[in-house]
Amino acid sequence: MSETVVTLQGWLGSDVTVRQAGEAQVATFRLASQPRRWSRRTETWVDGETQWYSVSAWRSLGEHAAASLRRGDPVVLHGRLSTRIWVNNAGEEVTSVEVEALLLGHDLARGTSVFTRATRAEAPAPSGDAEPSAAPSEQPAQAVA
């Protein structure tokens, strides 16, 4: 079965919340995306209807999203798209559009960001005479010209 993978540009419509789901952490938030098009008739940009997506980000991606993103931030998101149909309290059938984030970050076309590389946990020291290697230190990423 094929998956539908999408790339979205939009704005965080809520702060990121993190919860425990079994043994993994999952972060969730809402993403608003508003398409724009050029109207030849009026020679102006016309805003389309805002589209809302529920987003989930698992494990370290979710932790990093919670530490980095705030409501109103412009983001670019790449992930798996799915729809869910359910019945609300009023007995009406509702369709939700959900995205499981695979890649996520600030939209640098709309501002700047500072990146801090995450550190990895040290592996247990092997038994024997070998000295354990140190984990990489947390440091800002270097720009490539």
Question: What residue spans define the domains of the chain?
Answer: 4-106
Architecture per CATH, domain 4-106, reads as: Beta Barrel (2.40)
What is the rounded average pLDDT of the residues 18-28?
94
Identify the band that residue 123 occupies on the pLDDT scale cut at 50, 70 and 90. Answer: low
Cβ-contact 4, 81 below 8 angstroms: yes
Identify the band that residue 2 occupies on the pLDDT scale cut at 50, 70 and 90. Answer: confident
Of 85-94, 107-116, 124-133, the least confident: 124-133
Identify the band that residue 127 occupies on the pLDDT scale cut at 50, 70 and 90. Answer: low
Longest dimension (CA), the chain: 77
Q: How far apart are CA 130 and CA 6, in angstroms?
A: 47
